[in-house]
Structure 1
Amino acid sequence: MKETIIFDVRKLTGDALAWPALKGAAKLLKANGTVAFPTETVYGLGANALDETAIESIYTAKGRPSDNPLIVHISRRDMLNDLVASVPETAARLMDAFWPGPMTLIFKKRSVVPDKVTGGLDTVAIRMPSHIVARALIDLSNLPIAAPSANLSGKPSPTTAEHVIHDLMGRVDGIVLGDDAMVGLESTVIDMTGDIPVILRPGAITEMMVAEIAGDCETDAALKALKGEKSVPKAPGMKYRHYAPNAEVTVFTGDTVGIIKAFEAAIDEAAAGDYKIAILLFSEDLAVLNRLMADNTCGLDHAVLFDQGSAKDPAVFASRLFRDLRASDDFGCKRVLVHGIAEEGIGSAIMNRLLKAAEGSVIRI
């Protein structure tokens, strides 16, 4: 077990570059240590992107396969030139539009970037986060920081400081305690090495948003494998089971009335079997289900109902998803049932995460 130093910046104000806590965290990074820190997407686990020993510490802390590429985080555009072979004009336009923010771009890499960062690929993924703490930490360390999500490999990504402490206390050198992640889903990953941008992982920056800037955009065929279509992933990182709680996850799609009735039946089944289930559903569904179950207090004792916000505001669903998947384990739930969302806009990213968590287990009603 490591001695993990806690750097609490939650109540600090003013210039983040002057915060002693962040200076202490940056000192650890400069010494090739591992430091978890907040970003606007999820919490990241960072280390010096140019040192193989530091990178190996990330994989060890997470229990992450070493062929899984990491995203390199920068705080200034000029840092990009030292890491990538060239910056296509289309990539520059996307950076102008969406950086700093939840967008990762893949470029051909320079030799200075270790193979351990890229999983042996000749490309490197780069992101400039918008979170004030993340940007200041990178500036203070004066290093590009490789950082996957700050969770144990395969588990739901952490969106709060408490999630990070739960997973990584004693496994990393430092944890920066900040505010909760705003977006709640990892960044959109876009391959810029071909003729047009190709989305390898959906996120808050949608295909339509990219196409409006770039003129064209595609989503990689490997993502269709989550819907039962066969395809070969283009990059190690596009593994199948991710984001999963200990409980078995099932996603329900189709007719809303039928889905609510299926949830009601599942609650009765849980009560009969004397186990707990978690249900993630929209505010509108929750109101209906509560009316249906008003006289069934025994059944409700076996169900934990998580409000994912209105179906009209999918950004709320995104911000709460990982939090509620983790909470299902805290409540000791055996199963997690989720009302799926239309794959439009950020809904595509939500369903991408859900289908991986459920290992493709979908019930269409």
Structure 2
Amino acid sequence: MTSLLSVDPAAVFDSGRLIAMPTETVYGLAAPINRPDLVARIFELKGRPASNPLIVHVGSTEQARGCVREWPALAQHLAERFWPGPLTLVLPKANHISDVITAGQGTVALRMPDHPVALAILRVSPAPLVAPSANLFTRLSPTRAEDVSAVFDSADVEVVDGGPCRVGIESTIIGLDPATKTLRWLRPGLISQADIRAEMPADWRLELPPAGQEAAPDAPGQMREHYRPIKSLTVVVSERPASAIFASATGEEASWVVLPLPEDAAAAARQLYQALRQADQADGERIGLRLPPGCRDDPAWEGVLNRLAKAATDWRDECDPVS
């Protein structure tokens, strides 16, 4: 691992290696957008399909404007309101943005991370950086430097330790269509629908995916199975304590790793991936997680529920038996 003061991004990239950089959401596996060889290396190391687009990380709104064909007033307003921060904007891409980055689509996803180390790297980087989560595809996202080092070899990836990530889940993603004045809700995160609606002009509308359907795969994080631990994960929404739920399920409490998660949504998001990672390493065959009954009606839980819906192999309500 490397501290910020001793890493030279240009030198790392010139050596053919990637940088695992900390952000406020998760650690990202970074490469300059103008280095197709390194961008391809991200897909190779992660086992990521070419159909899954990447988010371009920028150090300024000026850099963001240089990546798009059109930058509407609402994009500027949202950037001023939420950047640096966990919001990704999807806009019509500029011609020089590679189709490899956008998975052949005509849009590009952009974000300015809210982490001093990430911003320092971006400001000395030769170009904006693509930086998907520094994990193997569909597995748990890393929120600590050691999580990355456990997966990738130092010969391939320079890990910059910026401490634990304070948000803990990936950014909210929205698409902007200037022609129709439509915002598309693509992936929930810490920033909620209510946060976005509060900033929208009256002549724009927010389009949500139909109930029970995924958003179209024109942004990262749209796979049905994602963010998964190695062990099977059962989620139960219940007023009862988790120990009672999973002990009574089989009569063998030791077969479950009961996952403690705070009842505050922001704290739960911050701890989620690390708690699942620790559960994977603990004794026990399966992971059991209990959620408070009011979580589905609380907008603050939307991002956590989205990640758990993709991570879980089984999801039950209080009335459903757990076996």
Normalising to structure 1: TM-score of the pair?
0.79
- In structure 2, relative to structure 1, the CA distance for the partners of 1:167 and 1:220 (3 Å cut) is farther
1:207 aligns with 2:190: no
Once structures 1 and 2 are overlaid, which stretch shifts more, 46-55 or 95-104? 46-55
Amino acid at match of 2:77: R
What residue in structure 2 maps to residue 109 of structure 1? Answer: 93
The answer for the alignment partner of 2:152 in structure 1 is: 168
Aligned residues: 310
Answering whether residue 3 of structure 2 is matched by residue 8 of structure 1, we say yes
| Structure 2 unaligned blocks of 5 or more | 319-323
Is residue 153 of structure 1 aligned with residue 137 of structure 2? Answer: yes
Structural RMSD (CA):
2.1
Stretch moving more, 74-83 or 328-337? 328-337
Aligned to 1:296: none
| C-alpha distance in structure 1 between counterparts of 2:125 and 2:257, whole Å | 42
Deviates more, 1:332-341 or 1:72-81: 332-341
Determine which structure has more spread, i.e. the larger CA radius of gyration.
Answer: 1
C-alpha distance after superposition, 1:264-301 (max 9, x if no partner): 31473344xxx4x2222xxxxxxxxxxxxxxxxxxxxx
Compare the two structures and name the one with the higher helix fraction. Answer: 1
TM-superposition CA deviations, 1:41-68 (whole Å, max 9, x none): 1000000112321110001111111111
Match for residue 66 of structure 1? Answer: 50
Shift of 1:119: 0.8
Work out the CA distance in 2 between the residues paired with 1:99 and 1:123.
19
% identical aligned pairs: 32
Shift of 1:353: 0.2
Displacement of 1:232 in angstroms is 6.5
SS in 2 for 1:214: coil
Q: Pick one of 317, 320, 342 that aligns with 2:268.
A: 317
Describe the SS at the equivalent of 1:251: strand
SS in 1 for 2:151: helix
What are the within-5 Å matches in structure 2 for residues 351-362 of structure 1? 351-359=305-313, 361-362=314-315
Paired residues for 1:167-316 under 5 Å: 167-170=151-154, 172-193=156-177, 194-215=180-201, 218=206, 220-221=208-209, 224=211, 229-230=212-213, 233-235=216-218, 237=220, 238-253=222-237, 255-257=238-240, 261-266=244-249, 268-271=251-254, 275=255, 277-280=256-259, 306=260, 308-309=261-262, 311=263, 313-316=264-267
The equivalent residue for 1:301 is none
AA partner of residue 339 (structure 1): R
Amino acid aligned to 2:167 = V
Query: CA offsets, 1:196-251, max 9 Å, x none?
Result: 322211001110001101146636316x4xxxx35663426311111111111111
Instruction: Name the CA distance, whole Å, in 1 between partners of 2:197 and 2:15.
Output: 41
CA distance in 1, matches of 2:56, 2:16: 15
Which one of the candidate residues 21, 24, 28 is aligned to 1:44? 28
Amino acid at match of 1:72: V
Letter of the structure 2 residue corresponding to residue 206 of structure 1: S
Other-structure match for 2:128: 144
Q: 1:230 to 1:202 in 2, by over 3 A?
A: closer
The alignment partner of 1:256 has SS state of: coil
Paired position in structure 2 for 1:95: 79
In the alignment, residue 165 of structure 2 is paired with which amino acid?
A
Change (3 A) 1:208 1:278: same
Aligned partner of 1:84: which letter?
Answer: V
Q: Which residue of 2 aligns with 1:33?
A: 17
SS in structure 2 at match of 1:83: coil
Give the Å deviation of 1:257: 2.6
- After TM superposition, the score normalised by the length of structure 2 is 0.89
TM-aligned CA distance change 1:117 to 1:326, over 3 Å? same
Letter in 2 for 1:218: L
Q: 1:32 to 1:50 in 2, by over 3 A?
A: farther
Amino acid at match of 1:350: V
Q: Which runs of 5+ in 1 are unaligned?
A: 1-5, 10-18, 281-305
